[in-house]
Amino acid sequence: MVNLDGRVAVVTGGGGGLAEGICSTLTASGAAVAAVDVELKKAEKVAQMAASNGGGRCTAVEADVSDRTSVEAMVEKVAAELGGIDILVNNAAIYPLRPWTEIEEEEWDRVLSVNLKGYFLCARAAYPHLRESAGGRIINVASITFFIGWAGFLDYVSSKGGVIGFTRTLAREVGPEGITVNAISPGAFPTDAERVHPDQEELNRRILEQQCIKRRGTPEDVGNLVAFLASDAASFITGQTIMIDGGWAMH
């Protein structure tokens, strides 16, 4: 396990399934973690679970990543209570399922606002703290769906393609200041987000057929990759997109 003692991490989408693995692994590695979610109760549940594993502290913070005022207040609160920010994990996302002809303009705007603009707002707000850190890290959660396409998720997949472009360009911008910016592209993980699919058995079969590794991934798998990218061991890696999908899409 990597050593993140003394580091402070913000994990958005902190009440979701992947956040369980991300927050738990970061705290177990010694980081103090803020699990940030628009639904505080969900974030509190994840924070309690992460803190119970030992290591660093984990606290829940309520914020809407699509709202600049909310994001700035969240960053100020975390930095004051935990002592700065060294690691930002942009993980918040919404995942509606419908044919592209049924997507309303308001839904399109909301998905892009949370899934892409939210990453920008959080990075901008955390930037002064990341710049002061001895090893600032931004880790953006993209998706395998950008590389393979996935019918029924046009707005979601479009937002995740934007995340990869955001990652590459921001890495150029902040690299001279010692901040790394990377993306991870998870495959399909058995979290609550999958419940939008009507046929769970067929979905599970389809995923295992496509993967080289014949088991479903876990949030802890994602957490391990995030912790590595947040560590000193990854200090010369930036602007990259790393697939974590059991060998489904090879890029």
Q: Which residues participate in catalysis according to the annotation?
A: 156
Is residue 154 within 8 A of residue 146, CB to CB? The reply is no
With 0-12 CB in 10 A as exposed, 13-18 as middle and 19+ as buried, what is 102? exposed
Q: Which of 93, 227, 135 is nearest to 244 (CA)?
A: 227
Tally of CA atoms within 13 A in the half-sphere of 219 that contains its CB: 21
Separation CA 24–CA 28 (nearest Å): 6
Coil, strand or helix at 242: strand
Separation CA 107–CA 207 (nearest Å): 27
